[in-house]
A and B are shown apart, each in its own frame.
Chain A
Amino acid sequence: MNNLYFILPELFISLSVMFLLVFGVFKSNSSKIIFFLSCLIVLISLAINLNININEKIFLFNNSYVVDDLSLFIKSIILISAFFVMFSSYNYVKINNILKIEYPILILCSLLGMLVMISSNDLIVFYIGLELQSLALYVLASFNRDNLLSSESGLKYFVLSALSSGLLLYGCSLIYGFSNSTNFEEISQNFNFEYGVIFGMVFVIVGLAFKISAVPFHMWAPDVYQGSPTSVTLLFAILPKIAALTVFIKFLYGPFLNLFDDWQFIIIFMSVASMILGAVAAIGQKNLKRLIAYSSISHMGYALAGLTTGTNQGVQSSIIYLIIYLIMNLAFFSCLFMLKRNDKFFENIEDLSGLSKKHPILALSFLIILFSLAGIPPLAGFFAKFYVFMSVIEKEMYFLAIVGLLATVIAAFYYLRIIKIIYFDPEQEKFDTSINIGLKFTLIFSTSVILMYFLNPNFINKYVVNILVFQ
């Protein structure tokens, strides 16, 4: 019974999913109610999660499940962002005729998978969580059945993701074979044959890199981002990345900690490659969603850079980076949800031309968000990079820091290009301004966080400093 107390959020979500399924089947036209009920469920599980207090790491179910500062904090972050993702996309979902009862339920399922994944302390539990979230996401990607691109992206995501899961599973079996255990704590203690475990580790890292779309395993991202409905793209851009990066932290600083010298180089390579490719490849894009896909690839590069340091500060800087990244993405996509004329949403960069004249406030938020994504001070995006490079330079990895910062200059170019189109180009027809309250709230909230972050940077930092991978 004691064990169950610590997994109350997960329990609550899984019970709610079952309830909603039954409810949706028996009550007709209930999709709207279910959508808002799911928002509420996410909020309640957030409240439950915030209510769990722990003084030390708590192991549950035969050490296969762990609740610590890291997992509790990331769970809260995921639940908050899931709430905003759903809350802000209601209008989009409704207008595009994808407001079916399955939509919010699938989101809840993938959420459940992420929570399990984050708390896992065992390869098998981890894999179950990972697959639960992925399966739900495959369906979500192709949710707009009538749209060719959406079906294509769902299939593409499914095939590539299944491949990566296969690699991951193979890696897990290698690790089990050479260390006689699936438990994270035990893996790190008994290596029978180090090279075998290294092989397994490489496969696991590859599998996880797929999930966060780090170069060279990023190919699926632009197509899937473009094809999926924008509300799902927002989900892709935020939730799985946070979850997968947290698992990265758990793996690298848990079972693989003794192999630090071996994985450090792999992560540095992925980080540098992601930064550069994300920056260069985005320059030619015409579709905003494709562009944000490349942009998120390069952002993942920066988040990975923090992990290469092998220090508490490095891991904390990565987590702060993730939080600011998710706020910026939330803001960016809420802007995208607003760009519609006659019930048609716009995704091409050219459609934004001259936005500033007709919609000065929306254009201003775009401006703030884009400069922040480019990492120009004093906006939040700058501080995200600042913390990461702070920890990278502490370890005297100047090469990584200089390459990373020069990549921000390249990246600045394509963000500036959007600003140019918004502010310098001739104006076009007005967009519809009928926007619902959730969208407005999300946009105002996230933009003001980006803008005001520099006034008091401690308000995020003070939660993160408690997260220690080395006690």
Chain B
Amino acid sequence: MFPILSSLIILPFIGALFLVFIKSTERNTGIKYVSLFITFANFFLSLYLWKIFDPSISAFQFVENRIWIEGFINYKVGIDGISILFIILTTFVTPLCIISVNSTTTYRLKEFLIAILIMETLMIGVFCSLDLVIFYLFFEGGLIPMFLIIGIWGGNRRVYSAFKFFLFTLVGSVLMLVAIITIYWISGTTDVEKLYELGIQENYQKLLWLAFFSSFAVKTPMWPVHTWLPDAHVEAPTAGSVLLAAVLLKMAGYGFIRFSVGLFPIASIYFVPLVYTLSLIAIIYTSLVALMQEDMKKLIAYSSVAHMGFVTLGIFTFTQQGIEGSIFQMISHGLISAALFLSVGVIYDRLKTRQIKDFSGLVNVMPKYAIMLMIFTLGALGLPGTSGFIGEFLVLMGTFKKSIITATIASVGVILGAAYMLWLYKRVMFGNLLKTIDVKKMVDLNKNETLILSSLATLVIFFGFYPEPLIKTYAVSIDNFINIFNLSVDLNLADNIK
């Protein structure tokens, strides 16, 4: 069988190697086209994968299993209905990043594109891997290119932000490494599929869950370890913020579903109050913080924390609606936050500022931009008819089943979300054009920007009205996932009663 997943993983890396050998010239056309070609090829490959993917089977598909370290660890990749969507999200967002980088960056463009391509390899790897050690390699490896992206192409405080990002994530992850090795010694394998069958002894589960949680909570990010995110977002270049918000944060959400809940069902139930509390704080508190931000990117960064709060809330309801909602929310947030960061990038390129007070009345000079930003604002606040609505709605539905108080408090977050997003839009777009703004510079969207933003806007609206293609893809996998979860919890209860 053709190793389609491995090709998806390796293709951007080959592209990066290719770029190394192309000489950078004045206009860098070769470099730009090669990177675009590679990422688009990867995107179409992943669409083809979606087409031949059979959504009616709950087992892992396209599994490749090779010996990697003798008698120790196998290189094992495979996908199910949950992971395939994240892969497509990754391959979809990366070319958009590259288009935006190509048209805005000139400083060390080649290295930037190489970093993005390597990043894509690692991100796809995370979503494909079916072995804990392989997962860890991809998960941690992502730190290197991201550190460089923030540090080399970032803003004024880039060094501080890059270090904070790197060290925060590393602290969480080393504990996960201890947990992974422990799992190897108590279960004899790190193969995820086998671990699902074998289960993990109950007395180990809680500590292992906490170790995994420490890593994913930093990456998600959950309150109180979210502080790296606003810094990283603000200082990162536009493409870096997009990758961070759209894909990197989703690694943690994916990890929660696949590993925390999947491997440690009993501990997951035990820690539900903790997760709910942290998620609610994330939703309410960071929404309030977002209201008071003066930097647009920082505002969106805090809104990301709030939205990821919904995701964790949904996952830990262990209901069909909750988990489906979380996944939908992650995909939709991937699209919307990417779009919002790109939109901020658009006006930042023109005026070199991101302060809200520096803008006013942009609707007068940039009508196309105003429409696009409206769509994304409405998407971010979860208006029916956009993809943002479906995710939040499903999550709240799932939460109502489990805890009415939690759901009520979370609903307040939706209102707050509307408040800060609409207020941002009002301040930037409406009113009179500030005298300080140079009208000549504020031209409307150019061709590239229109292409990127309109493709994202189309998807946000399309999935808002017709979520079926996504839901159909993951429905069976999640159904099966929850069945296994309930089964192992019941078994454990029965054991305890005996």
Contacts and interface: CB of A to CB of B under 8 A. Distances in A.
A377 B167 contact: no
Contacts of B99: none
Contacts of A394: 185
Interface in B91-150: 111, 133, 136-137, 140-141, 143-144, 147-148
Contact of A398 (B148, B159, B167, B178): B178
A320 to B, nearest CB: 11
The 3 A-B pairs of least Cβ separation, nearest first, read: A405-B174, A377-B137, A393-B181
B69 interface: yes
A401 B175 CA distance: 9
B50 interface: no
Interface string A392-423: 01100010011001101100110010011001
Contacts of B133: 386
A412 B152 contact: no
B69 A457 contact: yes
Contact of B137 (A389, A454, A458): A454
Contacts of A461: 69-70
B158 interface: yes
A387 to B, nearest CB: 9
Contacts of B177: 386, 389, 405
A84 to B, nearest CB: 26
Contact of A405 (B70, B158, B175): B175
A413 B151 CA distance: 14
A458 B70 contact: yes
Interface residues of B, number: 31
5 contacts: A386-B181, A390-B184, A405-B177, A412-B167, A458-B70
Could you say which interface size class chain A belongs to?
20 to 34
B156 to A, nearest CB: 12
Nearest to A425: B159
A378 interface: yes
A411 to B, nearest CB: 10
Interface of A: 360, 371, 376-378, 382, 386, 389-390, 393-394, 398, 401-402, 405-406, 408-409, 412-413, 416, 419-420, 423-424, 454, 457-458, 461-462
A376 B171 contact: no
B252 to A, nearest CB: 17
Contacts of B175: 402, 405
Contact of B181 (A371, A389, A416, A423): A389
A382 B139 CA distance: 13
B65 to A, nearest CB: 17
Nearest to A457: B69
B178 A409 contact: no
B162 to A, nearest CB: 8
Nearest to A465: B70
Contacts of A423: 148, 151-152
Contacts of B170: 376, 408-409, 412
A406 B171 contact: yes
B143 to A, nearest CB: 6
A398 B171 CA distance: 16
Contacts of A420: 151, 159, 162-163
